[in-house]
Amino acid sequence: MVLYFVSHAFEGDRGALAWVQLNQRIAQAAEDLEGTGVKRRELAKRVSQLRAGSLDPDLLDERARIMAGLGHPSELMVYYPPEE
């Protein structure tokens, strides 16, 4: 009888092993949340630079050229891969 209760204490949906796995999933979700927050802040900064009150001419020119696919043949365009 004791063996039955001890085995169920470790296995099953509410056992010790499930509790450890749940804590690992919580830690992973917290890391994902932090990474998403950092990316959101970076995007918010770029958007704020495109607003009329604080317009960054270099950023506007960069976005316009990328969207239109235009550039002078003598210009050197450097594309950075998006950060993951």
Instruction: Write the secondary structure of 26-37 as one string of H (helix), E (strand) and C (coil).
Output: HHHHHHHHHHHH
CA 8 to chain centre: 38
* Domain residue extents for the chain: 8-68
CA dist 82 and 71 (Å) reads 21
Which pTM does this prediction carry?
A: 0.49
**pLDDT value of position 84:** 60
**pLDDT value of position 55:** 74
Q: What is the mean pLDDT of residues 6-30?
A: 87
